[in-house]
Chains A and B, each alone.
Chain A
Amino acid sequence: MRPKHWLYTVPLRLRSLFRGCRVDLELDEELQYHLEQKTHEYIRKGLGPEEARYAALREFGGVTQAKEKCRDTRRVSWIQDLIQDVRYGARMLRKAPGFTAVAVLTLALGIGANTAIFSLVSGVLLRPLPYRDPARLVTIWEKDDLGHPGNTTFATYTDWKAMSKSFEELALYSSWQPTLTGSSDPEQLSGLRVTNNYFRTLGIRPALGRDFRSEEDTPSSNKVVILGHGLWERRFNSDPNIVGKTISLNTVSYVVAGVLPANFQSLMSMDPRGSAVEIWRVLGYDASQPWACRTCHHLVAIGRLRPGVALAQANAEMGTISAALWKAYPKDYSASGVVLTPLREQLLGPVSTTLYVLLAAVTLVLLVACANLANLLLARATRRDREIAVRTALGAAPGRIVRQLLTENCLLALLGATVGLMPAYWTPKLLAALGTGDLPRLAEVRVDGRVLLFTLVLALLTGVVSGMAPAFRLSNPNLHDSLKEGARGSSGWAGSRMRSLLVVSEVTLSLTLLIGASLLLRTLTQVLNVAPGFDVSHVLTMRTSVLGQKYADNNNLRQFYVQAVERVRALPGVEAAGVVSEIPLGGNMDQYGFHAEGKLNANPELDPSAVRYCVSPGYRSTMGIPLLRGRDLAESDTAEQPQVVLINEAAARQVWPGEDPLGKRVKIGGVDQPWWTVVGVVGDVHQNGLDLAPTMQFYVPHAQWPFPDSDMIFAIRTAGPPEAMAGAGRQTIRSLDPNQPISRVMPLEDYVGLSVQGRRFSLVLLGAFAAIAFLLSVVGIYGVTAYTVTQRTREIGIRMALGAQRRDMVMLVLRQGLLAVLGGVALGIAISAVLTRFLASMLFEVKPLDPATFMLVPVLLVGVAVLACWLPARRAMLVDPVVALHHE
């Protein structure tokens, strides 16, 4: 029935819409015919022609009305009205280019900022993770005795796999930093070693080639890798025949099994100090090695829940299993069990607070823009009173006028959105340049259909909301007053109250944003004020990693670094140099069990752990880490000499409170290890972040550590700017051995910068939004005050003619503006007091209700607001009573 129905009606509607003129002419002709026939009939009945015509018209009754009713039956009048409104609106906007430009710019700022942040939220948070059924993916953490989630071990994983029923797949990964050698410069890659079912667990299939096979997951046949799309393009020229070829990693040959799709999202954090994971190797875990113990936590487990298994259910089952394991191996496990984290939460949880805060902030900016536009419209409305009154007098219904005004506003908002879309389009590039901290999936951020739809809806909403107040005021004008010749176009008490309300809301919103931004600014200052524990300036860092058959021999490896440090130190312009296994604030650390003599727990797992630095003797002095007691490590602490260790203050305080740690002995990384003697105490160093308190740390000589690190970072203290030494530094290492990769050549200061990049990112954005909102508010306050002065010129003239002082007149105008501003400040403080708690997790050493911020920011705002009021208010002083009374 229905489709057939359309067959008849659709062509009719289309005809009414596009051939409206023709249809109207036909209607005229049809009715004309009727009237003529009727007239003839009356003439036949004996009436005169004139009389007959009137009789026919009388009998018909309201020809125009009938026509209008006929038109209404076509059901397209709303479209025609809309087109008419849009045309009319466009004409009105063209006629007021100044107003249009200011309004469009205001909206472009508000809507553009929203589009940009929404595209960020959409790309990072809303887009589903690029895995099959991502909601079923979880990470499984073994909790330490303090309840902190941590890595697991291979033996534990094997037991979990055998005992649990909640998972479809359980897989493991651990980080791997191979050096790719071959045609061009050796390059250090960031990679993962994964169990063969890793990609099956995630639900990812290689775009090229095949997945890992289970028979490859053994210590003898695990020389198989899968490449990331980027690496394949960059180093292998997107070779379509790469599958099956061998590549050289750490001078060992590996077979390429496949290449991952371009959109693959690594599970590793997006810390700007690390590089993206680009290569995966099958784990092939050797369970016979000493590091395969039940306490050797160096693997991360992920799992795919079976369909229908809830997270709580899986958590409960894993709790039971870990309790059983703890019972079976009381020395190897702690009682705190395991915890499952949804993968989504692990990947996106840390950044979602920031993103939602930013989204809330841009919404406030948009509201300020709306208020400003409403202000502009209200001011314009008084000038349009007459126009509207004329239209109303001619029969336009109030609803029709409201619709016309709202259409005009939506037109404005759409124009604003179009202008605002342009900067939003560049958002990802802009953000990348700014540095986004650990924000993942930046590549997914773009202006797509969803973002465009959001912008469109937002623009229409903005148009309607900002136009609501003025439109309703205009649609109920006092006809009589407005039509009167020379009417003053006063907007009356209601209009001025509405304007004051808008100022109040603008001040409230921008104060809220300013307080939020100030809290973040104070936080960043606090973070950067933290003494890192070493001297940051004038140090160049440079990472190298030596490999190859030659360096399999520990002596050769140690010798390489001894020589390299010597040569670098000899360079002109170098004051000191040393090497270390992990640079502070570098985004990484090595944690080892710290078993002090006489302080051992029955379960060695309960002994404290400390951060290990494997260093050359000159490292401490190069970094400017203070030696507090005892002696420094020396060249004489060779492999043949007794093993010595430096500890930091935190370790001394925690392990030997009230005792002299010098000469005390400690085992590192297991109770079956040899003793190390403490020879010195050094200052604490911030390893993981300026905002994280330093934990226990120790320094061992590279010459004495049983497995000397092949991967070391040079710290070179320079006389001049550290960057200038980069070339010479590189050259020196190359001169020793040209086949070793050198990476991350950068000043130590950059590590500090990168470590606070995430904080700076949110601060810069929130600060920019606060600034925009504040600017808009100031413009708004200025505009309203200026308008008030113009409106009250006559009144001021009369008052002055009656003897009022000029100063009193300024106060009169100022008072009205200031009352609104103060109202807004009070409201803003109250709202901020409620809202800033959502910022708490982003703050450091600053309370959400920081008194200084809550005092200073409002004072600053009021100061600027007073200025914005006073400038136009001064004009009230210049009013000449004679001119004013002749005004209008």
Chain B
Amino acid sequence: MSKPTDLVQGTLDLLLLKILALEPLNGFGLSQRLKQVSGDVLHVSDGSLYPALHKLEQEGWITAEWKPSENNRRAKFYSLTRLGRKQLESEADNWGRLSSAITRIVRLKEA
């Protein structure tokens, strides 16, 4: 879906949950933040961002609220639910296990 690095399946959820755990954001703000923190390495198209957000909402991990944004326009702000926090923990654990396993394999000395 994007040139620089194809996201590992399922990691988009983890990223969104983590960013929202830091502070509630609207969709636009979230896409800016994503670029900002990943240093443009991870590129998520806006077209796939929103379905992902809506999926998280329907799962009950994040909840949405209409609030005025910084420029005083009405915007939909997402924040983590208690359920979402648990989900974030378990996905972060999974990610940790997965990445360290992969790292171990990659660093194997060639004979």
Contact = CB atoms under 8 A, between A and B. Distances in A.
A70 B50 contact: yes
Contact of A66 (B31, B51, B73): B51
Contacts of B47: 60-63, 65-66
B51 A8 contact: no
Contact of A9 (B46, B54, B58, B73): B58
Contact of B46 (A4, A60, A74, A75): A60
A184 interface: no
B33 interface: no
Interface string A66-105: 1001101111000000000000000000000000000000
Interface residues of B, number: 25
A36 B73 CA distance: 11
A34 B46 contact: yes
Contacts of A73: 51, 54-55, 57-58
Contacts of B76: 26, 29-30, 33
Contacts of B51: 66, 69-70, 72-73
Interface in B42-87: 45-48, 50-51, 54-55, 57-60, 63, 66, 69, 73-76, 81, 83
A34 B27 contact: yes
A34 B55 CA distance: 18
Given A60-B46, A62-B47, A8 B63 contact: yes
A33 B59 contact: no
Contacts of A60: 45-47
Contact of A29 (B46, B58, B74): B74
Interface string A11-30: 01100000000000011011
B80 to A, nearest CB: 12
Contacts of B63: 8
A717 B45 CA distance: 103
A74 B51 CA distance: 10
B28 interface: yes
A46 B58 CA distance: 38
A620 B81 CA distance: 98
Interface string B89-101: 0000000000000
Contacts, number: 77
Contacts of A31: 27, 50
A234 interface: no
A38 interface: yes
A887 interface: no
A5 interface: yes
B58 A75 contact: yes
Interface centre among B48, B51, B81, by most chain A C-beta atoms within 10 angstroms, is B51
A31 B26 CA distance: 11
B58 A74 contact: yes
B10 to A, nearest CB: 15
B60 A66 contact: no
A144 to B, nearest CB: 76
26 contacts: A8-B63, A8-B81, A9-B59, A9-B60, A12-B58, A13-B58, A26-B66, A33-B28, A33-B69, A33-B76, A34-B31, A34-B50, A36-B73, A59-B45, A59-B46, A60-B46, A60-B47, A66-B47, A66-B48, A66-B50, A66-B51, A69-B48, A69-B50, A70-B54, A73-B57, A75-B58
Given A65-B47, A74-B58, 17 more contacts: A5-B83, A8-B60, A8-B81, A13-B58, A26-B66, A30-B75, A33-B28, A33-B73, A59-B45, A60-B45, A61-B46, A63-B47, A66-B46, A72-B51, A73-B54, A73-B58, A75-B58
Interface of B: 26-28, 31, 45-48, 50-51, 54-55, 57-60, 63, 66, 69, 73-76, 81, 83
